[in-house]
Structures are given as C-alpha cells and as structure tokens.
Chain A
Amino acid sequence: MNRNVIISFGLHTLLVIITAMSLPFLAKKPIDLPPIVSVELIQITDKTNIPFAPKAKKIIEKVKEKEKKLVSEQAPPKKIKKIKPDAVPLPDKKIDKIEKIKDEKQNPEKIETEIKQISEFEKKELFDTNNIAALIDKSKVESSETNKKIDKITQDQNKEMDFGGLTLSEEDALKAQIFGCWSIPLGLPYDEDLLVRIKLQLKPDGSIIRTEILDHARMNKPGQGFYKVLAESALRAVKLCQPLRVPSTGYERWKNMQLNFDAREMLEG
C-alpha cells in the first residue's frame, strides 16, 4: 500500500517537475517575442539608410578599433569576394568547390586564418549596426569567442524571425537585382506554363552554395525544350547576380530561399 503511494507520489512529482520545466520554457516564448519587433525595425532603418544614432556610432568605432588590433590589415575583405564570383560551375561541381573553400579555411596557414578573421569581422561590422548591446558584450571577450557569440546571436534572431518573410524593401532590392541579370529567352511560347522554381541555398554574404530546379524532371520531357532553355536562363541570372542582395541579418531566415521565375508577363507584353 505504502509502496503504491510512494510510486504514485514519485510519478506525480516527476510530472510536476516536467511541467514546471516545460512551462517556463513555454512561458519564455512571449518574453522572447518583443525583440522581433525591435530587430525588424532596425533592419528596415538599415535598408532605408537612416543614419545611426551618434552614440551607437561611437561605440561601434571603439569596438572596431579594438578588433583591428587583433586582425591583420594586410588582406582586404575583397579578396574573399573575388573568389566567390568565380565559383560558378555546375551545381554538383559547385558543392565540391565550396568544400574546397572550407578546407582552405581549416588550413592553419597564416594568411588564410587572417582572411577568415577579416571576413568574420566584416560580418560583425554589419551586425554591429543593429545590435549595439550585443556588441558591447562582445568587446569584452576574446576574438575567437566573438565569432561563436555572433552565431548565437544570429540564432536568437532567427528564433525571433523564423516566420517572417523578407520585408518589402528587402524583397524589392533582391528583385531589382535579379531583373537586371535575367535575360529572358525571347523565343519561348507564351501560351505554355513558363514558371521555373529554383530553390537556393545561400551563404551569409548572398553567394550561392547550391541551386535546385524544383521541376527538374520537366527539363528532359519531350516537347518541353523551351522549359530547359527558360530554366537555364534563370540559373544564369542567379549565378550572374551573386552575391545576391540579401538582408544583412537573419541569415537562418533566408539561407534557403525559393525564386519563382515567371516569364509570361514579359513575353505576353
């Protein structure tokens, strides 16, 4: 009898503990919510080029100065940008190339670590503008730890903004960029379905890791030669445009993106 009471008591205690642990977890959600609004707002101001508050600017400059001491000035961040546009082979090959780049980064050679640091620093620069508080925290720790922190902060942001799409200005900027790169093949039949959906996996700087045509099977169907031409033109546009004009924050939110290329409007005139 007593044993049953003890077992019952034990199980009930366990349930209470689980509930107690889960409830704060659930309760935390609404607490986490407010920053969504603030981050969103900062992002929009960033896009619309509203100047930073003078105080924030000073803090950012201080942090930059401190960080510069840790980073060599020899390798400008452009070096990385130069590598990326060249990496435009077939999607499969591309994965190989990216893997190679990763290997290079892991290589302990001095120059490469420098490049890595600078690239991270560059990212942080962009991040600084929106997260002053986070910056102040970071300035107190070692540079290697800073990188980890950035990741953490990015993840937090993602939690906050997972369900949000791109803002109108972000979407417009991206569209305007791709419009300029997409040469529409003029010979397509305009009474056919001219929609090509491409799924992209992006790097934080907007360059492309992987592209996938969602209706790939259609490319090799008889009588669908025009679709292949259209899909290739869309792929060319994406590759020509990279790095894409993506938001400077919220990488997790847009690292996977789908572009729907629809030529009907243009061809029907």
Chain B
Amino acid sequence: MLFRYLLILLLLPIKAFALIEVDITRGNLNPLPVAVSPLAIDKNSKDNFKKILKEENLGSEISKIVENNLKQSGLFNPLNKDAFLQEPDIANLKPRFEDWNLIKAQALVTGKVTFVDEKLRVEFRLWDVLAGKEMMALAFTTVPSNWRRVGHIITDKVYERLTGEKGYFDTRIIYISEEGPKTNRIKKLAIMDQDGFNNKFLTLGNELVLTPRFSPTNQMVTYLSYFKNLPRVYLLDIETGMQEVVGDFPGMTFAPRFSPDGKKIIMSFAKDGNSDIYTMDLENRIVERISNHPSIDTSPSYSPDGKYITFNSDRSGYQQIYIMNSNGKNVKRISFGNGLYGTPVWSPRGDLIAFTKLHKGKFYIGVMRTDGTGERLLTENFYQEAPSWSPNGRVLIFYRETKTNAKGEGFSAKLWSIDLTGYNEKLIETETDASDPSWSSLLSN
C-alpha cells in the first residue's frame, strides 16, 4: 500500500514537469530590418566640422556610410529615415522602443558626434529593439579627416555583434586600373576603400603591373611588374609608400601571394621550361622549390593555418585544383567536375576554396570545400576571374569583362562582389576600368 502511495507520489512530479519540446531547424535568410538613426550633433560641433571638412552635417554623413555598408552586405535592410519618429539626440540617450518597433526595426543604431580638442569624437550604441536593451556602446576619437573610417568601424562592430563574424568594412581594395583601347591598355596600381571611396593611384602607368595581393597581416602589397620586359616581384608598404624589388625571376612568373604570417611569398615561375611552385623567405630571400612535376603548376594559395597549399595544375591532362602539404608532399586532386578549374584561393576562414571555372565557353566563380566536395557556382558570365576573399571569408571580389562588338568596341572590365549565398551580387564603382582586385585585412585590427 505504502509502495503504491510512493509510486503515485513519484509519478506525480514527473507528470507535472513533462515539457513539450519543439525543434526549430529552419529560419529565414531575409535581411534584418535595422534603423540607423542619424548621429546627433550639437551646433558648435556642426559648425566646426563644416569649416574643417566642408560637410554640412557630419552626423548624418557618418550614419549614411553605416547604412550603405549594411545594405551592401545584403544581410541587413536599413529602414527609410523618413519613417523615424524619434529625434537622434533623444534616441541616443534612451530610445522609445515602441516607436522603433512600430516601423518593424529589430536593431537600432544611434550615436553622437562631438568636436573635442580639435578631434572628432563619435560614440554610438546598438540597441535590440525587441528585447528593449542596449547591445553595445562604443566611442572613438580620431582626427576629423578619418570620419569615413569611423563609419566603417561602426559598421564592423554592428555587423560583428549581429552576425557573429568579424566585419569587412574598414578595409581597402587594391586593383589594377585600366584605361585606353583593349590592344593598348595603360595599367596602373590603384587602391580604394571597400566602398569605392578614397581612390588613389600608386603607379604612373609606365610599366605593366599585374596581380597585386595584400598581406593578410599588415598593409604590405606584393605585385608583379615588367621592367624591360622582365617580370619583377615588388613589395609595397601602403602606409609608408616604400617600395622594394623582391627579385627578378626567369620566364613566366605568376601571381605572387603572401603566406598567412606574411613572412613568405609563394608564386609560380618557369625554370628550365617547367612551371612549378616556389616560396621566397622575405627575410633572407631564400627561394625554395615546393612542387616538382613536369606539368604546369600555378596560382598557389596557402591555407590560413599555413599547413597546406592549394594550386592548379594540368597534371591530369586538364587544368584542375589540387592541395598539398606546405612542403610539397601529399599532393591530392580535389576538383573533379566538368570543365577547367583555376585561380584557387583559400578562404580566410579555412573552410572553403574559391575558384574560377571554365565550362562550355562560360566562366564561373564558385566555391568548394577543401576536400573538393560541396562545389557551388555562385555566378556565371562571359568572362570573369580572379576571386579574392573579404577578410571574414563571407564575400568574394572578382573582375568581369564584357564582350566587344564586331568593331572591337564596348570592352570594359569592372569589379564585382558576391557573397556566399550567391544572391547578393554588386558592382563596385571605380573611376576607370578595373581588374585583379585583392582585399586587405581589417585596418583597425
């Protein structure tokens, strides 16, 4: 009897706590609605910045940069400012979440700009509208001329807080600026912010320049230039403008690229008629042969941990993608699809390899896992190549050429970006035609 009671007593709590569980395994990939309120600015600061920067309202301009960056990412949907009900200065102190909820904002960016000791001070806050709480609050002080970078840094912080990965907005893109007819192009080395602003030319266009690549650790760039018809590999420090010749190499030299620690350059060049992969130590300038095969091995790229190298080779009869250990051993083919594969680039996240594919007369930019599985073609066009990863491994930048007509007119080369979903493809505006882009690491690292 007692046992019965005990049994009932034991069973009763179990009954009371039986919890219904529901598994949610799907969600939507719609851009998150975000309200970017203009940054509040007092009259005195406004007048000072107007004098120095010729900008009418710096608070609004910075918020526009943030808004544009978020929109370009494809992951956010910045809401129309006309719908905002709360004034920027009040919103920055304590937003009335009901008002922001009303316009369907899920996150809110507010901030304040002040002129302090001849410097620009920007504070900003990110709010979770649905939870009604502050997610982040930061302040920056810098020289006023850096105001565009402040906008990019704010975007990086907001992006990181809401997506869980680092942003890519406070970055630069180095590329080859092209002008003139197709048969006689003037090619210059050029650099700009990732949003196309602050464009600068780094060379005069007297020499042919090719394949600039940023160092993953700092603002150094390596590129190829032809001096008296001989390929030379250069190192250029963007911060100081200092440039040096790394070396003259025989025959066809291709695509020098940094190792993940920035201490080596890896490239391919032809020696005794055989194109193989080599590395050069930037400290002692010792060149080491990595691959040794009678076929043509080109376009090497290190994995982010530096343990592996991906490259393309025609050793199977057709150009395909391979990976090997960083010492050249254990070579393994990873691409097996139809068509030709080239320009493999290892993602900074380490999970994917981007490539260019040529199949049935069309060029594709795609990605595959590092074991060759999960191939996804992100974009297709008449001619496009040279993908380069954003520092967070979320977006690829590449260049695309258009067809010329029968008279040889209408040719153009432009930079494009596409994210890993394949849906968010954007043209990156440049002053001239552009090719061979390379994305820098985050400047604010």
In the assembly, what is the distance between CA of A178 and CA of B132, in Å?
A: 20
Task: Say whether B361 faces chain A, with CB atoms less than 8 Å apart.
Answer: no
Check B24 against A182 for contact (C-beta < 8 Å).
Answer: yes
A187: contacting residue among B22, B23, B131, B164, CB under 8 A: B164
Chain A residues with CB under 8 Å of B97's CB are 88-89
Chain A residues with CB under 8 Å of B18's CB are 162-163
Chain A residues with CB under 8 Å of B445's CB are none
Check B19 against A258 for contact (C-beta < 8 Å).
Answer: yes
Check A237 against B131 for contact (C-beta < 8 Å).
Answer: no
Check A260 against B133 for contact (C-beta < 8 Å).
Answer: no
CB distance from A258 to the nearest CB of B (A): 5
Check A90 against B106 for contact (C-beta < 8 Å).
Answer: no
In the assembly, what is the distance between CA of A188 and CA of B163, in Å?
A: 7
- Comparing A115-123, A148-156, A227-235, the segment that makes contact with chain B is A227-235
Check B28 against A166 for contact (C-beta < 8 Å).
Answer: no
Check A186 against B163 for contact (C-beta < 8 Å).
Answer: yes
B28: contacting residue among A85, A182, A225, A269, CB under 8 A: A182
Task: Say whether A174 faces chain B, with CB atoms less than 8 Å apart.
Answer: yes
Most buried by A among B97, B106, B135: B106
B132: contacting residue among A15, A88, A179, A253, CB under 8 A: A88
In the assembly, what is the distance between CA of A70 and CA of B106, in Å?
A: 41
Check A162 against B24 for contact (C-beta < 8 Å).
Answer: no
Chain B residues with CB under 8 Å of A259's CB are 21-22, 24
Question: With contacts A22-B4, A187-B164 known, is A266 near B24, CB below 8 A?
Answer: no
Check A174 against B22 for contact (C-beta < 8 Å).
Answer: yes
Chain A residues with CB under 8 Å of B164's CB are 185, 187-189, 225-226, 228-230
Contact with B along A246-269 (1 / 0, CB 8 A): 000000011011111111111001
Most buried by B among A162, A187, A230: A187
CB distance from A18 to the nearest CB of B (A): 8
Interface residues of B in 22-70 (CB under 8 A from A): 22-30, 32
CB distance from B98 to the nearest CB of A (A): 6
Question: With contacts A183-B30, A236-B106 known, is A257 near B23, CB below 8 A?
Answer: no
In the assembly, what is the distance between CA of A230 and CA of B24, in Å?
A: 13
A/B interface sample: 27 pairs, CB < 8 A: A90-B132, A162-B18, A163-B15, A165-B21, A166-B22, A171-B22, A179-B27, A181-B28, A182-B28, A183-B30, A185-B164, A186-B421, A187-B392, A189-B349, A191-B351, A228-B164, A229-B164, A232-B128, A232-B135, A234-B24, A239-B130, A256-B19, A257-B22, A258-B20, A259-B21, A261-B24, A266-B29
* Cβ-closest chain B residue relative to A25: B8
Task: Say whether B101 faces chain A, with CB atoms less than 8 Å apart.
Answer: yes
* Cβ-closest chain B residue relative to A183: B32
Task: Say whether A12 faces chain B, with CB atoms less than 8 Å apart.
Answer: no
In the assembly, what is the distance between CA of A139 and CA of B327, in Å?
A: 87
Chain B residues with CB under 8 Å of A254's CB are 20
* Cβ-closest chain A residue relative to B159: A187
In the assembly, what is the distance between CA of A25 and CA of B344, in Å?
A: 75
In the assembly, what is the distance between CA of A216 and CA of B117, in Å?
A: 43
Chain B residues with CB under 8 Å of A175's CB are 22-24, 26
* Cβ-closest chain A residue relative to B75: A186
Check A258 against B21 for contact (C-beta < 8 Å).
Answer: yes
Task: Say whether B1 faces chain A, with CB atoms less than 8 Å apart.
Answer: yes
A166: contacting residue among B20, B25, B26, CB under 8 A: B20
Task: Say whether A180 faces chain B, with CB atoms less than 8 Å apart.
Answer: yes
Question: With contacts A86-B98, A188-B165, A256-B19 known, is A183 near B106, CB below 8 A?
Answer: yes
> Which B residues are within 8 Å of any A CB, using their own CB?
1, 4-5, 15-16, 18-30, 32, 75, 97-98, 101, 106, 128, 130-133, 135, 159, 161-165, 349, 351, 374, 376, 392, 394, 420-421
Check A260 against B21 for contact (C-beta < 8 Å).
Answer: yes
In the assembly, what is the distance between CA of A114 and CA of B276, in Å?
A: 85
CB distance from A47 to the nearest CB of B (A): 15
Check B130 against A88 for contact (C-beta < 8 Å).
Answer: yes
In the assembly, what is the distance between CA of A240 and CA of B392, in Å?
A: 29
CB distance from A81 to the nearest CB of B (A): 14
In the assembly, what is the distance between CA of A232 and CA of B126, in Å?
A: 13
Check B24 against A260 for contact (C-beta < 8 Å).
Answer: yes
Chain A residues with CB under 8 Å of B32's CB are 183
Check A229 against B163 for contact (C-beta < 8 Å).
Answer: yes
Contact with B along A1-28 (1 / 0, CB 8 A): 0000000000000010011001000100
Question: With contacts A188-B165, A258-B22 known, is A86 near B27, CB below 8 A?
Answer: no
Chain A residues with CB under 8 Å of B19's CB are 199, 256-258
Chain A residues with CB under 8 Å of B4's CB are 22, 26
CB distance from A151 to the nearest CB of B (A): 17
In the assembly, what is the distance between CA of A256 and CA of B349, in Å?
A: 39
Check B130 against A240 for contact (C-beta < 8 Å).
Answer: yes
CB distance from A69 to the nearest CB of B (A): 36
Question: With contacts A22-B4, A186-B394, A191-B351 known, is A260 near B22, CB below 8 A?
Answer: yes
Chain A residues with CB under 8 Å of B394's CB are 186-187
CB distance from A191 to the nearest CB of B (A): 7
* Cβ-closest chain B residue relative to A255: B20
A186: contacting residue among B1, B23, B29, CB under 8 A: B29
CB distance from A87 to the nearest CB of B (A): 9
In the assembly, what is the distance between CA of A266 and CA of B98, in Å?
A: 31
In the assembly, what is the distance between CA of A190 and CA of B420, in Å?
A: 14
Closest 4 CB pairs of A and B: A187-B165, A182-B27, A229-B164, A187-B163
Interface residues of A in 172-225 (CB under 8 A from B): 174-175, 178-191, 199, 225
Chain A residues with CB under 8 Å of B351's CB are 190-191
Chain A residues with CB under 8 Å of B163's CB are 185-188, 229
Chain B residues with CB under 8 Å of A165's CB are 20-21
Question: With contacts A183-B32, A188-B165, A236-B106 known, is A262 near B1, CB below 8 A?
Answer: no
